């Protein structure tokens, strides 16, 4: 199946996963904070940095599970902990990326309206949301640093073509990881395929130990009814690859 995240959606085989000691955890921690929106928004940057910090913690659990599995030890409790932490990490990463995506799409609409207030490319519903989010609220509290930063980002996006290009280039790569995270989240949190509420996975959230790295594999259903195996480590590695490309 061809999908927008095919480049990054690689469920690895024996020897293709880096060992715990080989993983460069600084790539997510430092790479996320260098991206547009994260870079100049202190609190959004903090959320993005937390994703990298927690990734290293969960990877230690995955490493311990991998060792226990290969020693034929009882892994029941470790599987439950690793599975729970992995799912919470996925949900957190989704929110961090969703905030980025939402801001990007909002600014696109605001740019359209700035160029042509009568544009048909922005629906009435979108206009109402933008008015609520970026109208009077931006002037309510001049001491609110978060408001000030978002206002500055909005104005920079509208007036600076170079900044817009940087945002566009970032989303072209980040979108692929976001789609991986989204299908994972929908399957585990909503027990359905993305935008297909009648398409229900066979065993949503059922944990399986990945024999090559110790991450928790999950069977995920796609919108066309096909299944694929994915784990949290696959997404973390995809994010590292994405950030390395963007910051190279």
Q: Return the residue matching tokens 């600076």.
A: 160
Answer positive or negative: Cα dihedral of 11, 16, 21, 25.
negative
Tens digits of per-residue pLDDT, 102-157?
Answer: 999 999 999 999 999 999 999 999 998 888 888 766 666 778 888 889 889 999 99
H-state helical runs in the chain: 26-33, 42-70, 76-115, 124-134, 145-159, 161-185, 232-246
**How many Å apart are CA 235 and CA 177, to the nearest integer?**
7
Lowest pLDDT segment from 13-17, 69-73, 77-81, 176-180: 13-17
Mean pLDDT taken over the chain: 90
Which residues, other chains included, contact 89 with Cβ-Cβ below 8 Å and sequence gap of 6+? Answer: 51, 54, 55, 58, 232
pLDDT, greater one: 82 or 196: 82
Given a cut of 80, is residue 40 above it in pLDDT?
yes
* pTM value surpassing 0.85: yes
Phi and psi of 7, rounded to 5°? -60, -35
Task: Say how many residues make up the chain.
Answer: 248
Q: What is the pLDDT of residues 59-105, one digit of tens each?
A: 999 999 999 999 999 999 999 999 999 999 999 999 999 999 999 99
**Higher-confidence position of 215 and 10:** 215
Q: Give per-residue burial for 102-141: e unless 16+ CB within 10 Å, then b.
A: ebbebbbbbbebeeeeeeeebeeebeeebeeebeeeeeee
**Would you place residue 15 in the very low, low, confident or very high pLDDT band (cuts 50, 70, 90)?**
low
Determine the Cα–Cα distance for residues 135 and 121; give it in Å rounded to an integer.
19
């Amino acid at each position: 199946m061809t999908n927008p995240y095919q480049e990054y959606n690689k469920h690895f085989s024996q020897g293709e996963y880096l060992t715990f000691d080989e993983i460069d955890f600084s790539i997510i921690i430092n790479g996320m904070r260098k991206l547009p929106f994260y870079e100049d928004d202190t609190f959004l940057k903090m959320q993005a940095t937390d994703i990298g910090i927690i990734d290293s913690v969960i990877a230690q659990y995955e490493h311990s599970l991998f060792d226990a599995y290969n020693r034929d030890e009882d892994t029941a409790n470790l599987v439950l902990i690793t599975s729970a932490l992995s799912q919470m990490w996925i949900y957190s990463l989704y929110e961090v990326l969703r905030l980025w995506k939402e801001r990007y799409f909002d600014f696109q609409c605001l740019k359209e309206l700035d160029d042509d207030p009568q544009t048909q490319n922005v629906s009435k519903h979108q206009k109402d949301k933008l008015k609520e989010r970026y109208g009077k609220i931006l002037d309510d509290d001049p001491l609110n640093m978060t408001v000030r930063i978002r206002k500055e980002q909005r104005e920079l996006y509208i007036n600076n073509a170079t900044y817009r290009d940087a945002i566009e280039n970032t989303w072209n790569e980040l979108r692929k990881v976001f789609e991986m995270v989204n299908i994972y989240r929908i399957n585990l949190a909503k027990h359905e395929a993305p935008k297909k509420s009648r398409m229900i996975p066979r065993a949503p959230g059922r944990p399986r130990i990945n024999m090559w790295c110790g991450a928790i594999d999950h069977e995920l259903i796609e919108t066309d009814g096909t299944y694929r195996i994915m784990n949290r480590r696959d997404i973390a590695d995809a994010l590292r690859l994405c950030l390395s490309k963007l910051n190279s």
